[in-house]
Structures are given as structure tokens and as C-alpha cells.
């Protein structure tokens, strides 16, 4: 059996390399991929780089690496529209020969001038009857029927009707001869026998144009069944606007660099516009493939909520076996340089890892939790020092007494250290939680962080005593 052969599902993702790979594109890719996997069909990657001036070559690899990172594999491609212009020329010729196209030499300014004040929007078809020949400097426009209705059958929204008179004679080829995306898409979708076109809602208004071209080609270039369309709800920002590369943080690459797990990202993304039939929120890609149905996709825009994504990521991180957690950290550290990898193979890490794992939201948080281990970067936070040490009248005494006991400790391990601090706490009639604050800030640098005694144990006696001394000095010297 051929993968995605005749009669099976064939879908594609068609990103354009004009910026970083977008979370919205990722979700579209994911749903497409689900459709293909569920049906044993084919998922195709096709880079839409028909606009040579706009596309950024470095984004080409970025798209593919983002897809791979998310675990979205493809069966065919990646194709690049920039390498398929021969196909578009053939399609253009067929359309031209059947009089579906006409040449137009109106400048942009001329079009604007002609259009202003017209009842029907867009180009008024001035060149329709001028009988211009094709040639350099002349764009090619599609002759849209004056009457009738073009219907887009949408699997999510039902039939959407567009009166033909509201569709202008749109350009399908630039005056330099290059095909425009609406033409290239149809040519490719026909050529690749795409059965389902799943894309963001923003494309809905241009879909009737694609339908018109497709039907015209069916008359002249051989019949290929129209694909089923499905327009996914937009992903929006907090202001309910379509998330954009300029305004919002949308790059998959950013989230990856920050230490989000791909499985958490994919899981969260799947939930934007769709929900699992039994209401569960956590599921594997295999579960998703099995349960996903296009008809269940929502109609309304969804807010990309980083807070909820962060929660998902935390859940996924905590679910990792400890070894795997460390492996992920190492991988992330190597990739981003966000953390000294040697830490991860140190004995200290062996003790701290489980404590870190249950606290981080993203892998990028790890450094903040283990930073106290590095003398080069260790510094007591001023704000924390003020709050927990300077403003605590008993802090000097507590630090002094703790230092006495820690200094005399035969073995420097968590249980003993805790006991020592408990004794000091009792002397000051404080709960342990209150008594440990000055010590925590003096030794770990912040009021919040990993459990104190385990941290002190791995820090070691010498460094702990030294840091307490430094805090006492700072108190003495800086006593206003």
C-alpha cells in the first residue's frame, strides 16, 4: 500500500519563511498531522516562498527544526514553491488559453484611483476588455464571474457563501511573471492531490478565489476533486487580536529556548480550539491522533495563555523520571548555554535534582535554583538581605548562634543542621520557618529557594561558614 495513495487522506502544512515558526502554525500543523496519522494518510510539508523578496532563507531550516522538535514528522517534502515555478507556468498557460485570465498593466496607483468611490470593492476590471497580450510589465488577473455565488464547503463552519460580484478580478501572476500564492497553492494542492485543506481562519476570505481557480482548471486541465476545507479559529493575544510576530511572543523557538518541553507545548496547543471527548487535559500524541475529530473543533478565537502553558509544562516536568529530567536539563543546557552542564553531573546535583524538579516551571528556571553553588555568581540579593536580615533585630544573634553550632558540627549533613537550627529557633521562641530566614538569605542569597538544610549540606561547611561570616560583617559594617 502506498502511503497517502489515491483515495486516502493527504494534508499539508504550508508555512511561509517570513519569520519565526509561529505557535499558530504549529497548531495547524499538529491538527493536519493528526488527520493524516489517524487515516494512515500523508502529511506533507510545503514551504510557501513564492515571494522571493520577503522570504528569509534562514527560516527554512527553522521551520523544519520546530516541527521535528514538536514531534511532528512528515511523509513527503519539504517542497519549496520557489522551485516549482514550472508547474505554475503550465497552470497559468492553461488558464490563459481558456480565457480565464487577462493581462493588466494598471499600476498600483492607477488601481487605487479607479477603485475609489466604487460600490464594489477592489479592482474594477478595467483591463478585462482591452485585449492586452501577456508580457513583461503586465500582471495576470483572473476573470471572476459577474454573477453567481461561490460556495466554500467548510468542515468546521459549514457552507460559506460569497457572491461573485464581491470578489474582484484578483492578480494571479505578478508583472514579473511570478505566480502569486493563491495560484501556487491551487496548483500545488491539485498536483499533490491534497484532500483536506486545514488552515487558519484568516484564509477564509481568499478561499473562494482558490475555489474559482480550481473549478476553472477542472474544466481545462483535467478534473481533480476539490479538497475539503476547514478553517481553524485564530489564536489571539490578550487584546483579542490575531497574534502577530511583531507584537506578540509567538515563536516556537522562544519557548524552546526558555525550557518548555515539546510534549507540553503540543499538548497545550491541541487544546486551543479543541478538547478531549472525556474532558481530560493531558494526553499523548497517540491519544490525540485517536480522538481528534475536525467536526469537534471550535469556531471562536482562542487566547494563547502562557500561564496555562507554564502550568502544563510544570506538570510534564514533574512527571519525568529523575534520570530523564536530568537528561532534558543537559540537553537544554547544551543547546542554549543557559546553564553550566558540569553541574548536572556533580554529586551536588544528585542530591538537589529531585528538589529542583518539583519546583521549576521551565528548564530555564533550574539555574536560579542551583545558582548558590557557584561562588563566581553567588551574591546575596539586596532586597532579601534587607527584609530577612537587616530588618530582623534578632538576625545577628541567630546567625551568630547558628554559626557556632555549624562550626562545631562533626558531620555536616541535613538532619544535624536542621536540629542545630531548631535549637536556635527555640532560644528565640520562633518557629523554624521564621528562624531559618536570615540563614537562608546569608547562605543561599534569597528568601525563596530549595529546602535549606539539603542545600547547606551540598554547599559544604567551609562555604556555609564563610557566607554566614560575610553576612555578619555586612551587618556590622553597614549598620547605618
Residues 90 and 187: their CA atoms lie apart, in Å, by 9
Site for RNA in 78-107 (CB under 7 A): 104-107
Query: How many angstroms separate the CA atoms of 37 and 104, rounded?
Result: 44
In the complex, minimum distance from the CB of residue 203 to RNA, in angstroms, rounded to a whole number: 6
Of 215, 281, 348, 394, the residue at the interface with RNA (CB under 7 A) is: 281
**Short-list 108, 51, 37, CA closest to 80:** 51
Map the footprint of RNA across residues 339-378, applying CB under 7 A: 358-359
379 touches RNA (CB under 7 A) = no
Shortest Å distance, C-beta 201 to RNA: 6
- Could you identify the residue written with the cell 475609489? 116
3-state secondary structure 210-245: HHHHHHHHHHHCCCCCCCEEEEECCEECCCCCECCC
Of residues 454, 459, 467, 471, which one binds RNA by CB under 7 A? 454
β partners of residue 285: none
Q: Find out whether 11 and 35 touch, Cβ atoms under 8 Å.
A: yes
Looking at residues 324 to 343 of the shown chain, list those that interact with RNA (rule: CB under 7 A).
Answer: none
Establish if 450 lies at the interface with RNA (CB under 7 A).
yes
Minimum CB separation of residue 419 from RNA in Å reads: 11
Q: Coil, helix or strand for 12?
A: strand
Classify residue 65 as exposed, middle or buried by CB count within 10 Å of its CB (0-12, 13-18, 19+).
middle
Total number of residues shown for the chain = 480
- Residue selected from 389, 453, 459, 475 as contacting RNA according to rule CB under 7 A: 453
Residue 316 as a binder of RNA (CB under 7 A): the answer is no
Between 296 and 335, name the residue whose CB sits nearer to RNA: 296
Q: Which stretch binds RNA (CB under 7 A): 94-102, 248-256, 308-316, 463-471?
A: 308-316
Minimum CB separation from RNA for residue 480, in Å?
26
Give the span between the Cα atoms of 44 and 293, in whole angstroms. 19
How many Cβ atoms are within 10 Å of 474's Cβ, its own excluded?
15
- Say if residue 78 is preceded by a cis peptide, omega within 30 of 0: yes
Using CB under 7 A as the binding rule, whether residue 443 contacts RNA is answered as no
- Find the shortest distance in angstroms from Cβ 252 to RNA: 16
Residue 206: φ, ψ to 5° = -95, -10
Among 398, 377, 396, 397, CA closest to 446 = 377
Among positions 203-262, residues that touch RNA (CB under 7 A) are 203-206, 233-234, 236, 239-242
Nearer residue to RNA within complex by CB, 8 or 315: 315
Q: Are 164 and 146 in contact (CB under 8 A)?
A: yes
Query: Is position 245 annotated as part of the catalytic site?
Result: yes
Residue the block writes with cell 491538527: 31
The residue annotated as part of the active site, out of 116, 174, 242, 245, is 245
- The residue within the footprint of RNA, chosen from 2, 7, 58, 108 (CB under 7 A), is 108
Q: Is 298 in the site for RNA (CB under 7 A)?
A: yes
Please identify which residue in 3, 5, 18, 423 interacts with RNA, judged by CB under 7 A. 18
Query: Contact with RNA (CB under 7 A): which of 121, 145, 225, 350?
Result: 121
Give the whole-angstrom CA distance, residue 242 versus residue 24. 10
CA atoms within 13 A on the CB side of 99: 4
| Residue ranges in 155-214 that form contacts with RNA under rule CB under 7 A | 157-158, 160-163, 166, 168, 170-171, 174-176, 180-182, 201-206
Q: Which of residues 46-75 bind RNA (CB under 7 A)?
A: 48-51, 54
The nearest distance, CB 299 to RNA, in angstroms, is 3
Tell me, rounded to whole angstroms, the distance of Cα 141 from its chain centroid. Answer: 36
Q: Which of 21, 43, 74, 123 binds RNA (CB under 7 A)?
A: 123
Q: Where does this chain touch RNA (CB under 7 A) — which range of 33-41, 91-99, 296-304, 374-382?
A: 296-304
CB of 43 to RNA, least distance (A): 18
Task: Report how far residue 160's alpha carbon sits from residue 151's, in angstroms, rounded to the nearest whole number.
Answer: 6
- How far is it, in rounded angstroms, from Cα 232 to Cα 300? 9
Closer residue to RNA, CB minimum distance, 331 or 431: 431
Q: Within the chain, what is the greatest distance between any pair of CA atoms?
A: 101
Nearer to RNA, 333 or 360 (CB): 360
Q: Which stretch binds RNA (CB under 7 A): 189-197, 216-224, 292-300, 394-402?
A: 292-300
By CB under 7 A, what part of segment 127-156 binds RNA?
A: 138-139
Please report which helix (H) or strand (E) contains residue 368, including its range.
helix 366-370
**Residue 383, helix vs strand vs coil:** helix
Nearer to RNA, 322 or 341 (CB): 322
Number of residues forming the site for RNA (CB under 7 A): 88
Work out whether the CA dihedral 199, 203, 207, 210 comes out positive or negative.
negative
C-alpha cell at 6: 489515491
Minimum CB separation of residue 394 from RNA in Å reads: 16
- Contact positions with RNA (CB under 7 A) in 382-441: 414, 418, 431-433, 436-437, 440
CB of 23 to RNA, least distance (A): 13
The smaller minimum CB distance to RNA, of residues 386 and 473, is found at 386
Active site residues: 245
Amino acid at each position: 500500500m502506498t502511503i497517502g495513495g489515491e483515495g486516502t487522506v493527504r494534508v499539508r502544512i504550508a508555512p511561509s519563511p517570513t519569520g519565526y515558526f509561529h505557535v499558530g502554525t504549529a497548531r495547524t500543523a499538529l491538527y493536519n498531522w493528526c488527520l493524516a496519522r489517524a487515516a494512515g494518510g500523508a502529511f506533507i510539508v510545503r514551504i510557501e516562498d513564492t515571494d522571493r523578496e520577503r522570504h528569509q532563507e534562514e527560516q527554512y531550516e527553522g521551520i523544519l527544526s520546530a516541527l521535528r522538535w514538536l514531534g511532528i514528522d512528515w511523509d513527503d517534502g519539504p517542497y519549496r514553491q520557489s522551485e516549482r515555478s514550472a508547474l505554475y507556468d503550465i497552470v497559468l498557460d492553461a488558464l490563459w488559453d481558456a480565457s480565464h485570465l487577462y493581462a493588466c498593466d494598471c499600476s498600483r496607483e492607477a488601481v487605487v484611483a479607479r477603485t475609489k468611490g466604487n460600490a464594489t470593492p477592489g479592482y474594477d476590471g478595467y483591463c478585462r476588455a482591452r485585449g492586452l497580450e501577456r508580457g513583461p510589465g503586465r500582471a495576470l488577473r483572473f476573470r471572476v464571474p459577474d454573477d453567481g455565488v461561490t460556495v466554500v464547503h467548510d468542515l468546521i463552519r459549514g457552507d460559506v457563501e460569497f457572491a461573485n460580484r464581491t470578489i474582484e478580478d484578483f492578480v494571479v501572476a505578478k508583472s514579473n511573471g511570478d505566480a502569486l500564492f493563491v495560484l501556487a497553492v491551487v496548483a500545488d494542492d491539485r498536483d499533490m492531490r491534497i484532500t483536506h485543506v486545514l488552515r487558519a481562519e484568516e484564509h477564509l476570505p481568499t478561499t473562494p478565489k482558490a475555489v474559482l481557480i480550481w473549478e476553472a482548471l477542472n474544466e481545462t486541465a483535467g478534473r481533480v476533486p476539490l479538497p475539503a476545507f476547514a478553517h481553524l479559529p485564530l489564536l489571539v493575544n490578550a487584546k483579542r487580536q490575531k497574534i502577530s510576530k511583531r507584537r506578540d511572543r509567538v515563536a516556537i523557538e522562544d519557548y524552546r529556548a526558555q525550557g518548555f518541553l515539546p510534549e507540553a507545548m503540543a499538548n497545550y496547543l491541541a487544546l486551543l480550539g479543541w478538547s478531549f471527548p472525556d474532558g481530560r487535559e493531558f494526553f499523548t500524541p497517540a491519544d490525540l491522533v485517536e480522538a481528534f475529530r475536525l467536526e469537534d473543533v471550535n469556531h471562536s478565537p482562542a487566547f494563547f495563555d502562557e500561564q496555562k502553558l507554564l502550568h502544563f509544562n510544570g506538570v510534564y516536568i514533574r512527571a519525568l523520571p529523575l534520570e530523564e529530567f536530568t537528561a532534558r536539563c543537559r540537553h537544554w543546557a547544551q543547546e542554549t548555554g543557559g546553564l553550566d552542564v558540569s553541574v548536572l553531573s556533580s554529586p551536588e546535583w544528585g542530591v538537589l535534582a529531585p528538589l529542583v524538579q518539583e519546583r521549576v516551571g521551565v528548564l530555564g528556571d533550574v539555574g536560579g535554583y542551583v545558582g548558590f553553588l557557584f561562588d563566581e555568581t553567588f551574591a546575596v540579593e539586596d532586597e532579601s538581605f534587607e527584609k530577612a536580615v537587616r530588618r530582623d533585630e534578632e538576625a545577628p544573634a541567630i546567625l551568630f548562634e547558628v554559626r557556632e553550632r555549624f562550626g562545631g558540627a562533626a558531620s555536616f549533613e541535613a538532619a544535624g543542621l536542621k536540629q542545630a537550627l531548631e535549637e536556635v529557633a527555640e532560644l528565640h521562641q520562633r518557629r523554624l520557618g521564621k528562624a531559618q530566614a536570615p540563614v537562608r538569605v546569608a547562605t543561599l542569597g534569597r528568601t525563596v529557594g530549595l529546602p535549606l538544610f539539603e542545600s547547606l549540606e551540598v554547599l559544604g561547611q567551609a562555604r556555609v561558614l564563610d557566607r554566614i561570616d560575610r553576612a555578619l560583617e555586612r551587618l556590622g559594617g553597614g549598620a547605618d
